[in-house]
Structure 1
């Protein structure tokens, strides 16, 4: 019984660790270069792919603004709407 409980706990930790991505693009596909992607854990930040094969750079919206991926810009928090995070074509 202890073995089973330890296995369940370990499997849960591994699943959460593997599935918890911050949405950072690996920028390994040419279509990603010049694109922005939402940061999955901090909505005042976003990822910017500047160079092919170089992981995306974390960018910060100005104070009081949040990144809205549908608009591809930072907007006031009052206008920001949560959307299910999607991963870019490649992950870092």
Structure 2
């Protein structure tokens, strides 16, 4: 198991991150979404009884969800933005 000390928020600094979803390491009922490059990620909540699946890149029924080790996003927010 990987131990991560933060919530997985991406920095949205690269073109590859635009319009991508990233797992919230602290809350499986939500995920991070990068909109525009250079803009902070927005936290999006799944509907009731759904959890975010990093593998499927969408919210799925909680009964089908399983734990997987978190994956680091390509960039992180600047400390000044936190």
Relative to the length of structure 2, the TM-score reads 0.86
Matched residues in 1 for 2:7 and 2:76: separation?
A: 9
Matched residues in 2 for 1:29 and 1:73: separation?
A: 21
Larger Rg belongs to: 1
Partner of 1:83: 68
Partner of 2:32: 47
Partner of 1:14: none
Deviation for aligned residue 1:67 = 0.3
Out of 33, 36, 55, the residue aligned to residue 70 of structure 1 is: 55
Higher relative contact order (CA 8 A, sep 6+): 2
Aligned length: 74
Matched residues in 1 for 2:76 and 2:40: separation?
A: 8
RMSD: 0.9
Unaligned 5+ residue runs, structure 1?
1-18
Relative to the length of structure 1, the TM-score reads 0.77
Unaligned 5+ residue runs, structure 2?
78-82
